[in-house]
């Protein structure tokens, strides 16, 4: 079981997957602060319980909160189902990571992903930190709004995406072309490296390697920041094309 303490992520979990929720807990005397969450829980058929202060603090691991949600961890999407979903999309947009080790980065990536319309995020099974309570808390509920799939061999999976007509674009500070100069419309998958960059085999599977133009004196961006900039640029180009 996982515990969610942020109001926004609790609300997202209640709305998106109520069947995975065990119970909403509220501290006695603080029910007025959880009115909206209680209403959502009732609508979704989720039980809630009011606990005395001592019992609440023990259950909440002594965190300074007034309510929290006990919920099953979100499951990753099965590869085949993920691919079938992409086939249904006119211009699918996915991002892939060659690995994410830092929970802070992972949480911020999921938070940004939740803010925009994204068809999914692809992660390698053996080079990605788990979705811990810290990751969920940082994501502010964003992880509830994004399809996540884990693959054993990322370079091989990128080939599968190519077979679906999806263009594979790498993002690296040593890229040959500015991201703003690339046509980001149509079905695309943007691939980002780990905190220490893209692996050679992954890079070789990409149709083009792009870069975010930065200062030559200090070119290195945080992984989560690079993701947010790239995602926004894709969304910007697609919206401008539809005007």
CATH label of the domain that carries residue 227: 3.40.1280.10
Q: Clarify whether residues 24 and 128 are in a common domain.
A: no
Q: pLDDT tens-digit profile of 99-120?
A: 898 999 999 999 999 998 899 9
pLDDT for residue 149 is more than 90: yes
Please identify which residue in the block is written with the tokens 């790239």.
230
Query: Over the stretch 216-233, which tens digit does the pLDDT of each residue have?
Result: 777 678 899 999 999 999
Q: For 56-95, write each residue's pLDDT tens digit.
A: 999 988 778 999 999 988 889 999 999 999 999 989 999 9
Indicate whether 64 and 84 sit together in one domain.
no
Residue with tokens 């500070």: 173
Residue-level pLDDT at 32: 94
Burial class (CB in 10 A: 0-12, 13-18, 19+), 227: buried
Tell me the C-alpha to C-alpha distance, in Å, between residue 102 and each of 8, 69, 109, 137, 206.
Answer: 22, 25, 11, 14, 24
Record the pTM. Answer: 0.84
117: number of Cβ within 10 Å: 10
- Structural domain total, the chain: 2
Q: What is the reported pLDDT for 195? A: 67
Q: If pLDDT is split at 50, 70 and 90, which confidence band does 25 have?
A: very high
- Domain holding 179, by residue range, is 79-242
**Which pLDDT does position 243 carry in this prediction?**
58
Tell me what pLDDT residue 48 has.
96
Query: pLDDT tier at 179 (50, 70, 90 boundaries)?
Result: very high
Judgement on whether residues 19 and 56 belong to the same structural domain of the protein: yes
Q: Say if residue 135 is in the same domain as residue 33.
A: no
Task: Among 71, 93, 113, give the residue marking a domain's end.
Answer: 71
**Are residue 54 and residue 93 in the same domain, yes or no?**
no
Please report, for the domain that includes residue 32, its CATH number.
Answer: 3.30.1330.30
Examine the domain organization and report whether 103 and 35 are in the same domain. Answer: no
85 and 67 within one domain: no
pLDDT at 74: 81
| 63 and 164, same domain (yes or no) | no
Q: Is 208's pLDDT higher than 80?
A: yes
């Amino acid at each position: 079981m996982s515990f969610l303490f942020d109001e926004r992520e609790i609300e997202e979990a209640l709305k998106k997957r109520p069947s995975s929720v065990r119970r909403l807990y509220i501290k006695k005397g603080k029910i007025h602060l959880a009115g909206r969450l209680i209403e959502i829980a009732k609508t979704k058929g989720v039980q809630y319980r009011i606990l005395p202060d001592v019992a609440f603090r023990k259950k909440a691991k002594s965190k300074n909160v007034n309510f929290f949600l006990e919920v099953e961890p979100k499951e990753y999407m099965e590869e085949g189902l993920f691919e079938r979903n992409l086939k249904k999309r006119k211009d699918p947009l996915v991002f892939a990571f060659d690995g994410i080790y830092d929970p802070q980065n992972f949480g911020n990536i999921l938070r940004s992903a939740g803010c925009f319309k994204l068809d999914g995020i692809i992660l390698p099974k053996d080079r990605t930190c788990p979705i811990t309570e810290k990751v969920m808390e940082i994501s502010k509920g964003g992880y509830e709004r994004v399809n996540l799939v884990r693959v054993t061999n990322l370079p091989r999976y990128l080939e599968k995406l190519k077979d679906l007509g999806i263009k594979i674009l790498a993002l690296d500070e040593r890229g040959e072309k500015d991201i703003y100069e690339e046509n980001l419309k149509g079905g695309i998958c943007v691939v980002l490296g780990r905190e220490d960059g893209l692996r050679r085999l992954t890079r070789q599977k990409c149709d083009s390697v792009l870069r975010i133009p930065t200062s030559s004196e200090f070119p290195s961006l945080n992984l989560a920041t690079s993701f947010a900039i790239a995602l926004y640029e894709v969304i910007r180009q697609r919206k401008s094309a539809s005007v």
